[in-house]
Structures are given as C-alpha cells and as structure tokens.
C-alpha cells in the first residue's frame, strides 16, 4: 500500500466514522423528540408483599422476576396509596384523577355504574393523538370510553372468571374464551394488539389489566404444582386479637372463619341442584368455622386454610409475572423499550394473612398501600427507590405530565413527575382516605383518615364513633391504637390537617351526610353477557 492509498483509506474511514457519528446523533435526537408510549399494567388485589422487588419474606419464596425488571430499569415507589381500597372505586379514581365522592363511583355494591361521560386520562391521550386501548379487567359497569379499542371482562358482574371468561369487544361483540386461562387470554390479546391491531403511526396508551389474583384465586393449570413442596411462613400478626380496635374486631374477613368452601376449592356432593351447590360452596362466608374433615381443627385448620389460600394466590401471581415478562420482551425485541413508559400496579393492596385476614378495604397499611413500579427511559434512573407519598388520584395527572400534555385543571390529583427530577419540596405531606361500603362484603366499618410520614389517624363513623391513631415508626404493624394516650397536641394537629384535606377535596360533609352515602342504593344497569345475547 503506498502513501496515497494510506491517505485515502484514512479519509474514507474518517468520513465513515463522522457520518456514523452524526447518524447516531440524529437518531438520538429523533428518539428524544418522539412522543412516549405508555403501557399501564394493573393487576387486581396484588399485594406489594407479593412483588419481590419489595423484598418481603413471602415474595422471596415466590419471586416475580419479570415484574421486578420494571423496578430494576426504573423505580420502586414505597409510599403509593389508594383513596378507597376496593376494586371499582380505585379504578374510577385512577381514570379520573378524582376522589370517589366527586367521580361518583364510591361503592362496588349498590354504587351504580361508572359515568363514562366524564373526563378520564385515556380521553386526554386520545385527544392528543394517541392510539388508546384497554384489555382485560374493567369492572366499572358501563362500556369503556376514550379508547380506540377495548376488550374487557364482563361476566360474573364484570369481575370476569378465571376460566371461560367472557369479554366484550368495543362495547358490542361478546366472546367467550373456552381454552385459555383469563391471564393467558389477556396476555395474548395485548401482544396481538401491539403487533397487529394498533395504528403504528401514532404513539399508544395501553391499559393492560388482569383479573388475577382476585378471589377466588384459581391459577392456570401450568402452575398447579408450584409451591407444593414447602409451606409459607405465617405473618407476624396472623393471630391478631384486635384489642383496642373495635371496628377491626367486628370484621368478617378472617382466614380461620370466613374463607368459604369455594375459596378452598372443595367439590360439592353430587346430586345437588345448582342453587344448593352454590350455597354449599358459599358456606363459610358468615363465619362458620367449617373443616374439610373431622380431624382438622383449631390452629391446624387455620394453618391449612392459610396455606391453601396463599399458594393459590401466589400461583395466580406467577401467571401475571409471565404475562408482564412477555410484554416487556415484546417492547425490547421491537425497539420500543427506549420509548415507552411502563407502570406496574394493582387497584389496591391486600392481606396475605396479616391481622389474620384476606381481602382489603381498611386503611391499615397492607390494603391501603399499592405496589407501584415505573420505568421511564428518559427521566427515571435505573434502580431508583423513593418514599415520596403519592395517591392513586395522582396517576392520571402524572402520566399526562410525563407525556408532555397539559394537565386538566379539574383533576384533583397532583403530578409526581417532579419526584424523579429532584423536586422534593413540592411533594405531598400527607394522604387522604375514605371507604364507604357497608356491611357486605366483610363488614368493614366506613371510615376516613389521614396518613403523614409518621402517623395515621382514622375515624370509624358509621355505626360507631371510634378513632384510631398509630405511630408507624414504633408500631409499623398497627397493633397498638394510641388514640386515648397520645398527647392532645398531636391529635389536634392531625385532626386539623385531616380537616384541611377534607375541605380541599370537597369531602367535608357532615357525618349524617356521609352515612347517607353508604345507605344510598344506586342500582346497577350493567349489562351481563347473557342479557346482551337475549
């Protein structure tokens, strides 16, 4: 090779390098300017204790490696709370960015249907050029609005079933899935929508929502053998006697006394009518301390019910973990990962034996707190952990804010985007709660309350007048109600702050008025699929 050749070879390589470099710069620039897609994943009743990113003992034995990928690549949020810990109301608050009494959907039972004419965050995205879809559990009665595509569970009162789930597509066509488990069906439908159904010229917002792991915890057969060779440890408060907590002592959601035969996957005797068979399966709901055989009694019976319950629950969670993994894989394999915000959460928390319970509804930590993992390729550093206080009414304004769209002023929630941008001053100092449903299911007394960084104050007001106060620093399990012994000044300050929140959110009606909300029966006009087909 002569000198000239050297020069030309050098020039060509340099030119190539320069052009490659500028190409990368242009690509990066384009990537940065591209609108962000959003996948909002929500399970039903998935306790943070059962997400291994949160590190609980239970989750170490039943890890969720795929869900954890979102936390590893983004953030784990440790203080995210719902305003009303029950399925429909939490979903309505998430969609509207408003508290239950404002969006109107404050009870599951006799609480009517969601008013789909009001403003929701999917509508905001749709109006701003996004392709929008919801696939899976909806549970709000009325047909989803604000979506270019919807395929939602409608049987079993909108809960959907694990097997033979029925879906309604775009508010018109009813289909029954006969082969696949509900989680697998929803997973396949989402992948199909991402790959084949959406308009790829637009950014997208996808709500990917599971029925699992809601009661009655029926896992896919591929997970039946999972956890069969060991038992789960009992939580510290498993044998709580509810001393000092009158409302809790009247509950009907104890593992020992209120799990029914259906929950425990018992088979009714043959020859019973359908009605008698349903009754037989529901036996246990009213506190009957039933046993599957004559020898299993007392603590051993409670232990058996707990193991049966938690194993099926966690088998349902394993299905969700797989389904989350396949969508994350799809994003990575199709170059969408760097341009898509992914959220994983649940409509509320859940008891996995803490206080001896299953179910939710209380403002106690396990059901009040929601798991919340979020990956945002542009502003959230991988492996972030934050204890900034956030509420579910904040999800809508935050996602809108993260997409660079103006937040509608009527939303009561507050964007927490600033948490990831070093804006610590502008964060919530406290969160507000209000639960209304009574007495079914589970006889949880209506209550409202406030949580600050350290304390939680609750007022149970419906058929009693009881206050509870917890110091979460010294008593994180909320076993010791210190209301009667705490300094007056502390109680006064908390009551003042609670009053201010109630005023701010326009939930400051008198006790008589809020009791009346519980008593008000609003009939559901919701369409069951068999009615639709008639």
Residues that bind Ca ion (CB under 5 A): 44-45, 87, 347
- Helix axes of 298-333 and 182-192: crossing angle, nearest 10 degrees: 10
Nearest to 85 by CA among 47, 33, 119, 41: 47
What backbone torsions phi and psi does residue 312 show, to the nearest 5 degrees?
-65, -40
Nearer to Ca ion, 105 or 470 (CB): 105
For residue 108, give the 3-state DSSP assignment.
Answer: coil
Number of CB atoms found within 10 A of residue 435's CB: 30
First to last CA, the chain: 86
The least CB distance from residue 106 to Ca ion, in Å, is: 15
Residues present in the chain in total: 534
The least CB distance from residue 91 to Ca ion, in Å, is: 8
The least CB distance from residue 392 to Ca ion, in Å, is: 12
Residue 320 and residue 201 in contact, taking contact as beta carbons nearer than 8 Å: no
Nearer to Ca ion, 45 or 365 (CB): 45
Token reading at 105: 């959907």
Q: Which residues contact 151 (CB under 8 A, 6 or more apart)?
A: 134, 135, 136, 167, 168, 169, 170, 189
Nearer to Ca ion, 125 or 433 (CB): 433
The least CB distance from residue 116 to Ca ion, in Å, is: 19
Token reading at 16: 């190539």
For residue 78, give the 3-state DSSP assignment.
Answer: coil
Nearer to Ca ion, 85 or 308 (CB): 85
Nearer to Ca ion, 310 or 407 (CB): 310
For residue 142, give the 3-state DSSP assignment.
Answer: coil
Nearest to 133 by CA among 46, 182, 203: 203
Residue with tokens 């996004």: 130
C-alpha 460/C-alpha 467 separation (Å) is 6
Nearer to Ca ion, 64 or 346 (CB): 346
Residue 460's DSSP bridge partners are: 447, 466
Nearer to Ca ion, 140 or 400 (CB): 140
The least CB distance from residue 108 to Ca ion, in Å, is: 9
Nearer to Ca ion, 360 or 376 (CB): 360
The least CB distance from residue 347 to Ca ion, in Å, is: 4
The least CB distance from residue 346 to Ca ion, in Å, is: 7
Closest residue to Ca ion using C-beta atoms: 87
The least CB distance from residue 88 to Ca ion, in Å, is: 8
């Amino acid at each position: 090779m002569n000198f000239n050749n050297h020069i030309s070879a050098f020039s060509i390589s340099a030119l190539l390098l320069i052009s490659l470099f500028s190409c990368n710069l242009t690509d990066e620039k384009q990537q940065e300017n591209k609108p962000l897609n959003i996948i909002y994943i929500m399970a039903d009743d998935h306790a943070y204790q059962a997400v291994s990113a949160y590190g609980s003992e239970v989750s170490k034995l039943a890890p969720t490696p795929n869900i954890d990928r979102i936390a590893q690549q983004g953030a784990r949020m440790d203080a995210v709370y719902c305003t009303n810990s029950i399925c429909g109301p939490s979903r309505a608050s998430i969609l509207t960015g408003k508290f239950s009494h404002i969006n109107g959907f404050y009870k599951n039972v006799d609480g009517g249907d969601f008013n789909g004419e009001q403003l929701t965050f999917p509508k905001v995205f749709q109006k701003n050029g996004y392709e929008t879809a919801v696939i899976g559990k909806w549970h709000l009665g009325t047909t989803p609005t604000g979506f270019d595509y919807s395929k939602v569970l409608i049987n079993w009162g909108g809960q959907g079933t694990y097997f033979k789930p029925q879906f309604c597509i775009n508010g018109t066509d009813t289909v029954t899935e006969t082969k696949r488990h509900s989680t697998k069906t929803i997973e396949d439908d989402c992948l199909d929508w991402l790959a084949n159904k959406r308009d790829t010229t637009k950014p997208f917002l996808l709500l990917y929502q599971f029925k699992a792991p809601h009661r009655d915890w029926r896992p896919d057969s591929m997970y039946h053998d999972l956890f069969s060779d060991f038992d789960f440890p009992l939580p510290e408060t498993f044998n709580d006697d509810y001393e000092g907590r009158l409302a809790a002592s009247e509950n009907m959601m104890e593992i020992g006394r209120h799990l029914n035969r259906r929950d425990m996957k018992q088979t009714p005797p043959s020859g019973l009518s359908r009605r008698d068979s349903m009754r037989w399966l529901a036996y246990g709901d009213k506190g009957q301390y039933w046993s599957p055989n004559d020898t299993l009694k007392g603590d051993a019976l409670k232990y058996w019910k707990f193991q049966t319950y938690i194993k099926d629950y966690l088998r349902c969670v394993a299905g969700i973990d797989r389904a989350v993994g396949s969508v994350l894989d799809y994003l990575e394999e199709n170059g969408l990962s760097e341009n898509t915000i992914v959220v994983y959460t649940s409509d509320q928390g859940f008891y996995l034996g803490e206080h001896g319970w299953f179910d939710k509804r209380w403002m106690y930590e396990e059901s009040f707190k929601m798991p919340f993992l979020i990956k945002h390729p542009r502003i959230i550093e991988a492996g972030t952990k934050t204890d900034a206080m956030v509420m579910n009414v904040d999800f809508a304004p935050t996602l809108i804010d993260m997409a660079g769209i103006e937040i509608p002023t009527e939303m009561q929630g507050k964007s927490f985007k600033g948490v990831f941008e070093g804006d610590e001053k502008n964060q919530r100092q406290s969160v507000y709660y209000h639960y209304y449903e009574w007495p079914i299911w589970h006889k949880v007394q209506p209550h409202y309350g406030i949580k600050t960084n350290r304390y939680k104050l609750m007022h149970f007001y419906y058929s009693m007048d009881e206050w509870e106060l917890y110091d979460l620093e010294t008593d994180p399990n909320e076993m010791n109600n210190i209301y009667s012994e705490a300094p007056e000044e502390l109680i006064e300050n908390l009551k003042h702050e609670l009053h201010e929140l109630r005023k701010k959110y326009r939930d400051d009606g008198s006790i008589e008025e809020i009791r009346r909300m519980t008593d008000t029966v609003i009939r559901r006009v919701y369409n069951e699929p068999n009615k639709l087909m008639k």
